[in-house]
A and B are shown apart, each in its own frame.
Chain A
Amino acid sequence: MPRPCRCPAWASRGLEDGHEMSTALEASPGTPADGVAGPTRRLVREGREGRAGSWTRFVLRRVVGLVTALLALLVAVFVMVRLIPGDPVINALGTDATPETIARLNAENGFDKPLYEQFLSYVSNLFQGDLGRSFITNEPVTQIIGQRIGPSLQLAIVALALVFLVSIPLGMVAGGVTQGGRHRRIEVAFTSVTGMFAAIPDYLTATILAFLFAVQIQLFPVAGADGPQSLVLPVLAVSAGPIMTLARLVRLETLNVLSNDYIRTARSQRLPRRTIYGRHALPNVLTAALTIGGLLFANLIGGAVIVENVFARPGLGSTLVQAVVAKEYVVVQGVTIVLGAIVIGVIMLVDVALALVDPRSLTRST
Chain B
Amino acid sequence: MTITASVDKPAQPKSWLRRHVAVRAFLTAPSGVASVVALAVLVGVAVVAPLYLDARATETDIAGSWAGVGADHWLGTDALGRDTFARVMVATRLTLLLGLAAGAISIGLGVAFGLLAAVSRGRWRTALLRGLDAALCIPAILMAIFAGAIFGGGVNGAVVGVGLALCFPIARITSTLALSIGGREYISAARVLGVRPLRLMFRYTLPNISESLVVAFTLSIVSGVLFISALSFLGLGTQAPEFDWGGLLSEGVANIAIAPAGALGPAIAIAFTALTLSLTGEALARACNPVLWTSSRKQRRAAPPEPTAVPVAAPAETEGGEPVLRVDDLVVTVPGAVGPVDIVKGVSFAVAPGQVLGIVGESGSGKTMTALAVAGLAPPSGTVGGTITLTGRRLADLSKAELDALLARELSVVFQDPSSALNPALRVGVQMTLSARIIRKLRRSAAYQLAAAKLRDVHIGAPDRQLKAYPHQLSGGMRQRVMIGTGLMAEPSVLIADEPTTALDVTVQAQIMDLLEEINTGDRSTSIILISHNLALVSQNCDRVLVMYCGRIVEDLDLDQLLTDPKHPYTRALLAAMPKPGGPREAPMATIGGEVPDIAAPPAGCPFHPRCAVAVDRCRTDLPPLVIHPEDRARRVACHVVEGAGV
Q: Is A327 touching B153 in the complex (CB atoms < 8 A)?
A: yes
Q: How many interface residues does chain A have, given as a range?
A: 35 or more
Instruction: Indicate whether B363 reaches chain A with its CB closer than 8 angstroms.
Output: no
Q: Which of A28-36, A134-142, A159-167 contacts B (4 or more CB under 8 A)?
A: A28-36
Q: In the complex, what residues of B have CB within 8 A of residue A360's CB?
A: 424, 470, 472
Q: In the complex, what residues of A have CB within 8 A of residue B456's CB?
A: 32
Bound-state CA distance A298–B168 (Å) is 14
Instruction: Indicate whether B257 reaches chain A with its CB closer than 8 angstroms.
Output: yes
Q: In the complex, what residues of B have CB within 8 A of residue A232's CB?
A: none
Closest to B417 in A: A261
Closest to B425 in A: A283
Q: Is A14 touching B420 in the complex (CB atoms < 8 A)?
A: no
Instruction: Indicate whether B449 reaches chain A with its CB closer than 8 angstroms.
Output: yes
Given A44-B468, A81-B150, are A298 and B138 also a contact pair (CB < 8 Å)?
Answer: yes
CB-CB contacts below 8 Å: A329-366 with B: 329, 332, 336, 339-340, 343-344, 347, 357-360
Q: In the complex, what residues of B have CB within 8 A of residue A213's CB?
A: none
Q: In the complex, what residues of B have CB within 8 A of residue A294's CB?
A: 137
Q: Is A301 touching B263 in the complex (CB atoms < 8 A)?
A: no
CB distance from A265 to the nearest CB of B (A): 5
Q: Is A306 touching B473 in the complex (CB atoms < 8 A)?
A: no
Q: In the complex, what residues of B have CB within 8 A of residue A343's CB?
A: 137-139
Instruction: Indicate whether B292 reaches chain A with its CB closer than 8 angstroms.
Output: no
Q: Is A284 touching B134 in the complex (CB atoms < 8 A)?
A: no
Q: Is B234 touching A270 in the complex (CB atoms < 8 A)?
A: no
Bound-state CA distance A267–B435 (Å) is 10
CB distance from A41 to the nearest CB of B (A): 9
Bound-state CA distance A53–B589 (Å) is 50
CB distance from A90 to the nearest CB of B (A): 14
Q: In the complex, what residues of B have CB within 8 A of residue A47's CB?
A: 465, 468-469
Q: In the complex, what residues of B have CB within 8 A of residue A203's CB?
A: 229-230, 233, 249
Q: Which of B275-283, B348-356, B387-395, B563-571 contacts A (4 or more CB under 8 A)?
A: B275-283
Instruction: Indicate whether A4 reaches chain B with its CB closer than 8 angstroms.
Output: yes
Q: Which of A16-24, A97-105, A122-130 contacts B (4 or more CB under 8 A)?
A: A16-24
**Given B271, B422, B465, which contacts A262 in the complex, CB threshold below 8 Å?**
B422
Q: Which of B141-149, B208-216, B551-559 contacts A (4 or more CB under 8 A)?
A: B141-149
Given A17-B474, A201-B274, A262-B423, are A43 and B465 also a contact pair (CB < 8 Å)?
Answer: yes
Given A72-B131, A262-B422, A336-B142, are A270 and B408 also a contact pair (CB < 8 Å)?
Answer: yes
Instruction: Indicate whether B330 reaches chain A with its CB closer than 8 angstroms.
Output: no
Q: In the complex, what residues of B have CB within 8 A of residue A204's CB?
A: 249, 267, 270-271, 274
Instruction: Indicate whether A63 reaches chain B with its CB closer than 8 angstroms.
Output: no
**Given A4, A20, A283, which contacts B461 in the complex, CB threshold below 8 Å?**
A20
**Given A77, A262, A268, A272, which contacts B377 in the complex, CB threshold below 8 Å?**
A268
Given A201-B230, A211-B263, A324-B148, are A299 and B475 also a contact pair (CB < 8 Å)?
Answer: no
Bound-state CA distance A302–B135 (Å) is 14
Bound-state CA distance A266–B270 (Å) is 48
**Given B142, B257, B430, B473, which contacts A301 in the complex, CB threshold below 8 Å?**
B142
Instruction: Indicate whether B113 reaches chain A with its CB closer than 8 angstroms.
Output: no
Instruction: Indicate whether B513 reaches chain A with its CB closer than 8 angstroms.
Output: no
Instruction: Indicate whether A200 reaches chain B with its CB closer than 8 angstroms.
Output: yes
Q: Is A268 touching B149 in the complex (CB atoms < 8 A)?
A: no
Closest to A2 in B: B424
CB-CB contacts below 8 Å: B468-511 with A: 468-475, 478, 483, 486, 490
Closest to A283 in B: B425
**Given A10, A20, A196, which contacts B472 in the complex, CB threshold below 8 Å?**
A10
Instruction: Indicate whether A120 reaches chain B with its CB closer than 8 angstroms.
Output: no
Given A80-B147, A324-B148, are A210 and B256 also a contact pair (CB < 8 Å)?
Answer: yes
CB-CB contacts below 8 Å: B261-316 with A: 263-264, 267, 270-271, 274-275, 277-278, 282
Instruction: Indicate whether B434 reaches chain A with its CB closer than 8 angstroms.
Output: yes
Bound-state CA distance A284–B140 (Å) is 29
Closest to A25 in B: B461
Q: In the complex, what residues of A have CB within 8 A of residue B149's CB?
A: 323-324, 327, 329, 332
Instruction: Indicate whether B634 reaches chain A with its CB closer than 8 angstroms.
Output: no
Closest to B451 in A: A32
Q: Is B464 touching A35 in the complex (CB atoms < 8 A)?
A: yes
**Given B379, B434, B449, B450, which contacts A279 in the complex, CB threshold below 8 Å?**
B434
Instruction: Indicate whether A195 reaches chain B with its CB closer than 8 angstroms.
Output: yes
Given A43-B462, A204-B267, are A270 and B475 also a contact pair (CB < 8 Å)?
Answer: no
Instruction: Indicate whether B226 reaches chain A with its CB closer than 8 angstroms.
Output: yes
Q: Is A199 touching B275 in the complex (CB atoms < 8 A)?
A: yes
Instruction: Indicate whether B65 reaches chain A with its CB closer than 8 angstroms.
Output: no
Instruction: Indicate whether A207 reaches chain B with its CB closer than 8 angstroms.
Output: yes
Q: In the complex, what residues of B have CB within 8 A of residue A268's CB?
A: 375, 377, 412-413, 415
Bound-state CA distance A168–B296 (Å) is 28
Q: Is B462 touching A24 in the complex (CB atoms < 8 A)?
A: yes
Q: In the complex, what residues of B have CB within 8 A of residue A271's CB?
A: 434-435, 438-439
Given A181-B381, A336-B142, are A68 and B134 also a contact pair (CB < 8 Å)?
Answer: yes
**Given A39, A199, A269, A306, which contacts B230 in the complex, CB threshold below 8 Å?**
A306
Instruction: Indicate whether A11 reaches chain B with its CB closer than 8 angstroms.
Output: yes
Instruction: Indicate whether B404 reaches chain A with its CB closer than 8 angstroms.
Output: yes
Given A195-B282, A204-B271, are A68 and B142 also a contact pair (CB < 8 Å)?
Answer: no
Instruction: Indicate whether A239 reaches chain B with its CB closer than 8 angstroms.
Output: no
**Given A6, A22, A76, A339, which contacts B139 in the complex, CB threshold below 8 Å?**
A339
Q: In the complex, what residues of B have CB within 8 A of residue A208's CB?
A: 267
Bound-state CA distance A81–B426 (Å) is 50
Instruction: Indicate whether A260 reaches chain B with its CB closer than 8 angstroms.
Output: yes
**Given A44, A85, A199, which contacts B277 in the complex, CB threshold below 8 Å?**
A199
Q: Is B462 touching A21 in the complex (CB atoms < 8 A)?
A: yes
Q: Is B253 touching A207 in the complex (CB atoms < 8 A)?
A: yes
Q: Is B137 touching A344 in the complex (CB atoms < 8 A)?
A: yes
CB-CB contacts below 8 Å: B223-241 with A: 226, 229-230, 233-236
Q: In the complex, what residues of A have CB within 8 A of residue B142's CB?
A: 301-302, 305, 320, 336, 339-340
CB-CB contacts below 8 Å: B385-435 with A: 404-405, 407-408, 412-413, 415, 417, 419-426, 430-431, 434-435
Q: Is B453 touching A32 in the complex (CB atoms < 8 A)?
A: yes
Q: In the complex, what residues of A have CB within 8 A of residue B249's CB?
A: 203-204, 207
Closest to B268 in A: A204
Closest to B407 in A: A270
CB distance from A102 to the nearest CB of B (A): 20
Instruction: Indicate whether A15 reaches chain B with its CB closer than 8 angstroms.
Output: yes
CB-CB contacts below 8 Å: A269-323 with B: 269-272, 275, 279-280, 283-284, 287, 294-295, 298-299, 301-303, 305-306, 309-310, 320-321, 323
**Given B236, B252, B420, B483, which contacts A4 in the complex, CB threshold below 8 Å?**
B420
Closest to A23 in B: B461
Q: In the complex, what residues of B have CB within 8 A of residue A36's CB?
A: 464
Instruction: Indicate whether A180 reaches chain B with its CB closer than 8 angstroms.
Output: yes
CB distance from A210 to the nearest CB of B (A): 7
Instruction: Indicate whether A73 reaches chain B with its CB closer than 8 angstroms.
Output: yes
* Interface pairs (7), CB distance under 8 Å: A17-B478, A18-B475, A24-B462, A73-B138, A211-B263, A266-B431, A279-B434
A-side interface residues toward B, CB under 8 Å?
A: 2, 4-6, 10-11, 13-15, 17-18, 20-25, 32-33, 35-36, 39-40, 43-44, 47, 68-69, 72-73, 76-77, 80-81, 83-85, 179-182, 195-196, 198-201, 203-204, 207-208, 210-211, 215, 260-262, 264-272, 275, 279-280, 283-284, 287, 294-295, 298-299, 301-303, 305-306, 309-310, 320-321, 323-325, 327, 329, 332, 336, 339-340, 343-344, 347, 357-360
Which 8 pairs of residues, A with B, have the shortest CB-CB distance? A21-B461, A302-B139, A14-B475, A199-B278, A270-B408, A283-B425, A302-B141, A261-B420
Apart from A77-B146, A210-B256, 6 more pairs, CB < 8 Å: A4-B472, A72-B135, A207-B249, A207-B253, A269-B490, A321-B236
B-side interface residues toward A, CB under 8 Å?
A: 130-131, 133-142, 145-150, 152-153, 226, 229-230, 233-236, 249, 252-253, 256-257, 260, 263-264, 267, 270-271, 274-275, 277-278, 282, 375-377, 379-381, 404-405, 407-408, 412-413, 415, 417, 419-426, 430-431, 434-435, 438-439, 449-450, 452-453, 456, 460-466, 468-475, 478, 483, 486, 490
